[in-house]
Chain A
């Protein structure tokens, strides 16, 4: 990966194929999301919390596989999902932080010039013929805007959940159809017993802050784990069939 600040002039000739962005998630089992995505994400993925490996701080993710580097939704050509998270759709663009003259940090639009999305066969450019932002770039900008705006609400959700002791570790103890045991660690979810025992004042606060529906989205989404297990079993069965054929 090599990020550089996007320049409408310098990068005007780049051809981009956004479809290929999905391939970059082929070996990603956790994809970060923001609070505004919870309702859409919940129809496809388990929403879990995990710690950022660099800071140890909690963030929400959608779970795509049952072990690191596994994405069970990757079909080989695309993510076979009803909803693709913003953090995939924005690729190959990133938001970087740069020092401004005043010393404050500012958001800077960056592009990964080593991304496989940059390809001669790409149908998208960042600018139109007249030099104005292309509809494609405008869409990217709106995605990035939603991600940046969503950070505030997301970290406030995390802080609320932590202050009410609502997060708890989940250890997925799975036995696959072929008898193989599988343990997924490092994931956290909502402690439902604790959630249900909250007092009226806390519940009212969660309603007013818009946190309630987020918590319910997470709780409901947990059932999607069964879908991941199903996909994994299918994958294992395919692998077995493949190996048996080779014999």
Chain B
């Protein structure tokens, strides 16, 4: 008799645990006739959650929709706001006027038209050329005006401009927990895991808890956070340190109130480079989440605090930031035996491109998509999961590092060290060499586990002043189509900067009237 996977035990109830439970339960929740998978989540009420990761990717829209969550409720319950990409300030020269956008709307005509090369030729000739993102997408203009990405008449989860969210991680956990327990039949155990017991085969047999006795499962999902209780501590999977590539190892996080109840909510993440790292600034409905991530081998906590205080201003001097130690890196494998890690238990990277929540979504989606399966075939799933997840981590690391190596800042050793070739992964060096002669395209990213579209690389490369050698470029016969695409972008810019509402006023309307499902 094959041992069919009928029960999943998730250890840990942060964002990773509950999102994973919700994503898998939405596909496999146990029905009354006994089909499906029984999902149990053990959550400690003594261990707190980290609660970083307030920025999402657009994938969160599909994730929540599939789970059967109402977007209106999500806005009402989670202090949610819209995120239309990120504005990177002072990353290139460090000058106060230095900024570029990584918007979520793809370049007009992408990927069939290559606007990047045409823009580059123009930008080389003209000092007054528009920024790359402004030339190829209308979203920078929308963001600069503080507008929302949709209308009150847009259905739930549908946008005019592509968008993601900023959310209050603490409230988000409660919200998803409630949905999982009440709507998706997830079995919720509030208890502390005291030990993890393995069987002779090496699998995890059960976890021992303080009050609820032994809890077993065919598959265990480790969502225990940095501790990595199951995969790291129990299964002995080592941690692969990435701090030789990404130097950030500390965060100082603080919640900054708005000046007034109706202050504008910035509709994108703002990332402002500092002397030894960078500051995130995320506008929620009722407050901003601000934090400085820096390298403790390049500066002291006191000096970093000074930079953070200078950023948030004299008025908020009394705010006490919380210090979080972070370790850039991930487990050597993510799935071993009958145990798979999701979230911080699998690894962590600085939140420069908000990769934490999306990795949880993708991992849970992949686990859910592989089921039902048997214990006998689990090593096949584990192998696939490990290959895909490793690939994703590598791509994220490359993409984050790209931001650092393109910087021209020389104001501290932090920035200079970041450009040391020894700190740059070979895969990234190879790509950069190719991109000296042609823009990033889909041919560079051929895996179906791809994280960032080629467009994202274009936005960062050309936003940061990377120069392509286009002298040998043969005319491709698309010249008129390219010009039409630029013109189309200009008319979209005019149209949507007029029609889209102010970000806060739309959020207020959503809370008052709700969005329709259709």
The interface of chain A, by Cβ under 8 A from chain B, is 51-58, 162, 167-169, 186, 188
Contacts and interface: CB of A to CB of B under 8 A. Distances in A.
Contact of B152 (A54, A167, A169, A188): A54
Contacts of B513: 55-57
A52 B512 CA distance: 14
A53 B516 contact: no
Given A55-B509, A56-B509, A57-B513, A167 B518 contact: yes
Contacts of A162: 516-517
B516 A51 contact: yes
Contacts of A56: 151-154, 509, 513-516
Contact of A168 (B152, B509, B515, B518): B518
Contacts of B509: 55-56
Interface of B: 151-154, 509, 512-518
A186 B518 CA distance: 10
Contacts of A55: 152, 509, 512-513
A169 B512 CA distance: 23
17 contacts: A51-B153, A51-B516, A53-B151, A55-B152, A55-B513, A56-B151, A56-B152, A56-B153, A56-B509, A56-B513, A56-B514, A56-B515, A56-B516, A57-B513, A162-B516, A169-B518, A188-B518
Contact of A58 (B151, B152, B512, B516): B516
Contacts of A168: 518
Contacts of A53: 151-153
A167 B518 CA distance: 8
A219 to B, nearest CB: 18
Contacts of A57: 513, 516
Given A54-B152, A169-B518, 11 more contacts: A51-B153, A51-B516, A52-B153, A53-B151, A55-B512, A56-B152, A56-B153, A57-B516, A58-B516, A162-B516, A168-B518
A54 B515 CA distance: 12
Contacts of A169: 518
A162 B514 CA distance: 13
A236 B181 CA distance: 59
Nearest to B513: A55
B241 to A, nearest CB: 49
Nearest to A50: B153
Contacts, number: 31
A-B interface, 10 closest residue pairs, ranked by CB to CB distance from nearest: A56-B152, A51-B153, A55-B513, A56-B153, A56-B513, A57-B513, A56-B516, A167-B518, A53-B153, A56-B515
A168 B514 CA distance: 18
Nearest to A168: B518
Contacts of B512: 55
Contacts of A58: 516
Contacts of B154: 56
A56 B515 CA distance: 7
Nearest to A186: B153
Nearest to B153: A51
A188 B516 CA distance: 12
A49 B297 CA distance: 62
Nearest to A167: B518
Contacts of B151: 53, 56
Contacts of B153: 51-53, 56, 186
A56 B512 CA distance: 11
A46 to B, nearest CB: 18
Nearest to A169: B518
User: Which of A51, A52, A168 has the largest count of B CB atoms less than 10 A from its CB?
Assistant: A51
A219 B518 CA distance: 19
Nearest to B510: A56
Contacts of A51: 152-153, 516
A54 B517 CA distance: 17
Contacts of B515: 56
B316 to A, nearest CB: 36
A189 to B, nearest CB: 11
A56 B509 CA distance: 9
A17 to B, nearest CB: 35
A193 to B, nearest CB: 15
B153 to A, nearest CB: 4
Contacts of B516: 51, 56-58, 162
Nearest to B506: A56
A168 B516 CA distance: 11
User: Which of B153, B516, B517 has the largest count of A CB atoms less than 10 A from its CB?
Assistant: B153
B508 to A, nearest CB: 12
Contacts of A186: 153
Contacts of A54: 152
B90 to A, nearest CB: 39
B439 to A, nearest CB: 33
Nearest to B516: A56
A69 B153 CA distance: 19
A168 B517 CA distance: 10
B445 to A, nearest CB: 33
Nearest to A53: B153
User: Which of A56, A57, A167 has the largest count of B CB atoms less than 10 A from its CB?
Assistant: A56
A69 B397 CA distance: 53
Nearest to B515: A56
A58 B512 CA distance: 15
User: Which of B152, B509, B516, B518 has the largest count of A CB atoms less than 10 A from its CB?
Assistant: B518
Nearest to A58: B516
Contacts of B517: 162
A114 B324 CA distance: 64
Nearest to A54: B152
A243 B223 CA distance: 72
A186 B517 CA distance: 14
A52 to B, nearest CB: 8
A113 B301 CA distance: 68
A56 B151 CA distance: 8
A53 B517 CA distance: 16
Nearest to A55: B513
A20 B153 CA distance: 32
A20 B518 CA distance: 37
A20 to B, nearest CB: 31
Nearest to A191: B518
B444 to A, nearest CB: 36
B108 to A, nearest CB: 20
Contacts of A52: 153
A186 B509 CA distance: 19
A169 B515 CA distance: 15
